[in-house]
Every structure is written in C-alpha cells, then in structure tokens.
Structure 1
Amino acid sequence: MGLLDKWIESLDYEFRILDSCSRYQSPHSTCRNCIDSCSADAITFVSGKPIINNKECTECGDCIAECPVQAVEGFLPRRTIIQNQLIVTDEHPPSIKELLAFYKKGVTILVYDQEELNLHWKHILSEVNSMLEQLNEAPFSILNKEIEREEELFTRREIFSFWKKEAQSTMKQMAPAKWRFNHQDLDLAKFYPNYQFTEIMLDTSKCTICKACQILCKRDCLQINEMDFTITTQNCSGCMICQDICPEKAITTEKKIQPATKNTHPLYTKICYTCKNNYQTLSMHDKKCVKCKKMEAFGTFLK
C-alpha cells in the first residue's frame, strides 16, 4: 500500500448502510446477511433497517462481502499478495466471496509460514474449495514455506519525491468508487458467467403476474412481457427480495451452485367465466381472473 493510500485510509471514515439495501427498498425484505456476518454485533435493526454502530465496528469487512446487493459502504481490508500468492496472516481471513474473486484474478495459491493453519482459515478453505469443485475448478493450492518480505527504506528526499508521485496517481482515482469500495469487486456473477449461485423457482399456479418482483429486482432476473415470464438466474445476487415481496408466495429462492439456466413460462390469454373479461394467466387450466377469484374467496370467508 502506498504512503498516500495509507494516509487516506487513516482518515475518520465510518462504514454505513446505503439506501440500496433491500430492507430500505421494501419493508417485506427478510435479508439479515450483514447482521449474521458481524462477529462484533455492531449492526442492529432500527425500525426494520440495519444500522452500523461505528463505535463497535472493527472494520473487518465481513458485512461488505456478505451483502448481496453491495449496500455497505466502507473499505475491504487490504490483503498481502506476492507474485499472485495470497499470504496467510494472523489478521481476519478473507471471506469466501473474496477468495472466489481472487481465484478468478489468478491468485490460486495460499502461502503460510506458521506451523499450521488456524481453525478459521481451515474452515474458510474447506468451504471455498467445496464451492470451487461445484464450479468445476481446481482447489486452492497451499504452500508452507518461509515468506520473504522486503522492507522499503527511503531517504528524506526520496520520501518527498515518492509522495509527489503517489499524490498525482491517487488524485486521478479519487472518485468514491475507486478509493472507497467498488461493488463490482465481489460480484461473483461476473467472475463465473457460466454458473449461478442461486436458484429461483416459480409456482405458476399461484403467480398472479402482479410484476412486483420484476419492479424490485435490480438485476433484471425476472422479466414479464405479453408472451411469457422469463427467469434468468445467472445474475441473481441472492437478496431474496423477489421471494419476500411476492404477495402470493409464488416465488422461492435457494442458494445453489449450478450451471446458469433460463426458464421461460408462457402466458395464456383467457376469458373469465365469471366477469367475461380477458385476462392473462400462467396456468392453462385457469377459468377465472384474479379479481373474481379473490371476490369469491372473500365471499366464502364472510359465510
């Protein structure tokens, strides 16, 4: 890390939850990934929305890595990488998402110089290697060897010259996405375009084509037109907003690694037996429109 970079990151900067959080988008959201990932208990719900207590926050970056919609603004911890080898340190280990991203950037070897890996590292490696197997990739290689770390020594003149060059380089990249957090860094869909990490299932007998799921999905995984309802799951982040928002509980999601799929469900145009109006449905056996069905159910309830 450059000297100016270190100075920038030493400034008083607080992690925070952005409005793109699914719980800010809908009160029906059940996502709690940031809270479940925080070992310091620094995140709590206030009126149903996650809030970070910065006095308790250790800035480990776990919440950033686990947020499916990249709604946590902050710094991912710097990792030591030498010649495309990730150095194992006593610091908080990378998340599974970080390791999967590193892997696709060519960092496929882990090096440690202790007697053995600690239990936390072993657990993370076991999980990530299991996922790599499902992604048809080789596991991380692990090397136990002495790590050579070069110390940088500067004269006073060299330090001022170095700072000048660092300043010129860094100022060109001062846009927030460049020096704070780039949400695309942990977008696994971009690193593994032939696979999906979530499965979205639709119960066509329950869906009323209200389009609430399509409106709230920021990844365009659900598309409804005049002809069909198409689900493209490869780009899904697993935020579950489609499942949470569906009033008919017609959508379910499941974390699952598998080859990317695209499912298309045809729409049928019919005439309602009760009101005689045209309506669209995903079930070819439907005989009544949604409005008439609900009125009938309400009448039965009153009886």
Structure 2
Amino acid sequence: MGIFSKWIESLDYEYCILTSCSRHKSPRSTCTSCLDICPTEAITLKNGIPVIHQKKCMECGKCISACPVQAVAGIFPKREFIQQHLVVDKDRIPSVKEMLVYARKGVKGIISEENVGEAWSETIEKTNELLKKLDMAPLSIQYKKIERKEETYTRRELFFSWKEETQSLMKEMAPAKWRFNHKDLDLSKYYQDYQFADIYLDTEKCTLCKACQKLCDKNCIQITNSHVIISAQACSACRLCEDICPEKAISVSETVRQYEERKFDIQMKTCQTCGQSFEALSDSVEECVRCTKKTLLFAQ
C-alpha cells in the first residue's frame, strides 16, 4: 500500500446506509443482515429503517459484506496479500462471500505464521465447499515466516507516487463521501454462470400483480404479456420479493448451482363466477382475483 493510500485510510470517515436498502424500498422488508452481523450493535432500526450510530461503529466492514444488496457504503478495510495469498489477521475474520470474491480475483490461499484458529478454519472450510460447487480449486493454507520490506522513496519517487495514487483514488470519489468497494461484493458479477439463490414461484397463488418485478432492482422477475421469467443469476437473496408478495406466492432460498432461467406461460382464462377474462399461471385457477377475494371474504 502506498504512502498516500495509508494517509487516506487514516482519515475519519463514516459508514452509511443507502436508499437501495430493501427496508428503504418497502416497509414490508424483513431483512436484518447488517443488524445481525454488527459486533458492537452500532446499527439499529428507526421507524423500520437501519441507522448506523457512528460512535459505536468500528468500521470493521462486516455490514458491508453482509448486506445482500450492497446498500452499506464506506471504506472496506484493506487486507494484506503476499504472492496471491491472503495474510491472516486474527482480529478480522473474512466472510465467505469476501473469500469467494478473492478467489475469483486470483487469490490461491492464505498464509500465516501460526495456527489460524477455529474461526479462520471454519471460513476456509465453508469457502472451499462452495468453490467445489463452483468448479474452482480450493484455497490452500501455508504456514511460514512472513517477511515484509520497508518502502523507501526518493524525493522524486515520492512526488510521482503521491500524484499517481491521488489520481487513482480521486476517480473513486463521490460528492462529499469516499466511495470504496461496497459494490465489489456482488458475487453475481464474478460467477456469471452460477446462481447463489433460488426463487420459487407458486403458480396457483400468483395473481400477476407485478409487485415483485417493480421492487427488484436486479430484474430477477420479469412479467411480459406471455410469460413470467425468473432469472436468479443476479439474485442475492435479499428476499424483498418474498416479503412484499401479497399472495405469499414467492419463496427464496440460498443455494449454489448452475444458472438456469425459468419461464412460466401466462394463460387467458374465463372466470367461472363473473364470466370476465383474466390472466393466470395455472390451469386449476378458475376465478379472477376480484371474485376469489370476494369468496374468501364471505367464507370468513
């Protein structure tokens, strides 16, 4: 890491929750990923919206990694790498998601001077289980003495180093806030032939209201004139579609498998109660939405 980068990271900065958070998008969202992972309880809900209390926040980056929609912005702490190996820092255990990104970027394993401990071992084991499903080589563990070289600069080298790093970092600067890599933890960008979530659609319950399509920023569910198309490659299991579906026709589960697009035919049917035409996904549906709701109301 260059001198200017080290100076930048020493500056005060604050994590924040972006409006892309599922709880910003709908009060029905049940996501608590950032709250559940925070070791200092620095994140709480205020009127249903997650809020970071800066005095408690230790900028560990766990909330950035845990957020399924990359809605926590801030400077993700840098890690040390030596010859394509991640150097163990026992105070900062990486998430499995983080390790999968590193593996895709060319990291081959980890390196440590002593036993890595139970937490690191568990992370590596889970990562390697997923890498096997992703048809990638497992991460290795090397135990050896780590030698670090001191960085020395002449006055000329120092000037050009700062200039180069400044230009590079300024390109990543957003108005009034530093914006480093909170979006870099989207696994779908790195494993485009795989999906990390499965979206199940109950065709008998679905009324084609399009609420799921409107709120999914990743376009995982598309409703055309003739089909419902489920494309879960970009799905990160935020479960907003599941939370907001009024008919409870959607369920989302985490998985790792080859990407597969699914299509469901939309049929034109005639309501057996009112005689009006309506669209449905199942042959067994015999009433339109209005008549079905009336039937349920009278049954109560």
Query: Which TM-score applies when normalising by structure 1?
Result: 0.93
Residue in structure 1 matched with residue 24 of structure 2 by the alignment = 24
CA gap of 1:193–1:166, structure 2 versus 1, over 3 A, is closer
Residue in structure 1 matched with residue 213 of structure 2 by the alignment = 214
How far 1:173 moved relative to its partner? Answer: 4.4
Q: Counterparts of 1:194 and 1:171 in 2: how far apart (Å)?
A: 33
Residue in structure 2 matched with residue 66 of structure 1 by the alignment = 66
Residue in structure 1 matched with residue 225 of structure 2 by the alignment = 226
CA gap of 1:279–1:83, structure 2 versus 1, over 3 A, is same
Q: Describe the SS at the equivalent of 2:234.
A: coil
Q: Counterparts of 2:17 and 2:172 in 1: how far apart (Å)?
A: 23
Matched, 1:119 2:118: yes
Residue in structure 1 matched with residue 267 of structure 2 by the alignment = 268
Which residues of structure 2 form unaligned runs of 5+?
A: none
How far 1:191 moved relative to its partner? Answer: 1.1
Q: Counterparts of 2:251 and 2:81 in 1: how far apart (Å)?
A: 39
Q: Counterparts of 2:267 and 2:87 in 1: how far apart (Å)?
A: 57
How far 1:11 moved relative to its partner? Answer: 2.2
Residue in structure 2 matched with residue 294 of structure 1 by the alignment = 293
How far 1:183 moved relative to its partner? Answer: 4.0
Moved more, 123-132 or 158-167: 158-167
Q: Counterparts of 1:14 and 1:184 in 2: how far apart (Å)?
A: 16
Q: Counterparts of 2:173 and 2:6 in 1: how far apart (Å)?
A: 14
Deviations 1:131-156 (A, max 9, x none): 11222222101111111211113456
Q: Counterparts of 1:149 and 1:253 in 2: how far apart (Å)?
A: 46
CA gap of 1:97–1:58, structure 2 versus 1, over 3 A, is same
Work out the percentage of aligned pairs sharing the same amino acid.
48
Residue in structure 2 matched with residue 98 of structure 1 by the alignment = 98
How is 1:126-165 mapped onto 2 (pairs within 5 angstroms)?
Answer: 126-154=125-153, 159-160=158-159, 162-165=161-164
How far 1:172 moved relative to its partner? Answer: 4.5
How far 1:4 moved relative to its partner? Answer: 1.9
Q: Describe the SS at the equivalent of 1:243.
A: helix
Checking the alignment, whether the CA contact within 8 Å between 2:75 and 2:182 is kept in structure 1 is no
Note the aligned Cα RMSD (angstroms).
Answer: 2.0
CA gap of 1:158–1:135, structure 2 versus 1, over 3 A, is closer
Query: Which TM-score applies when normalising by structure 2?
Result: 0.94
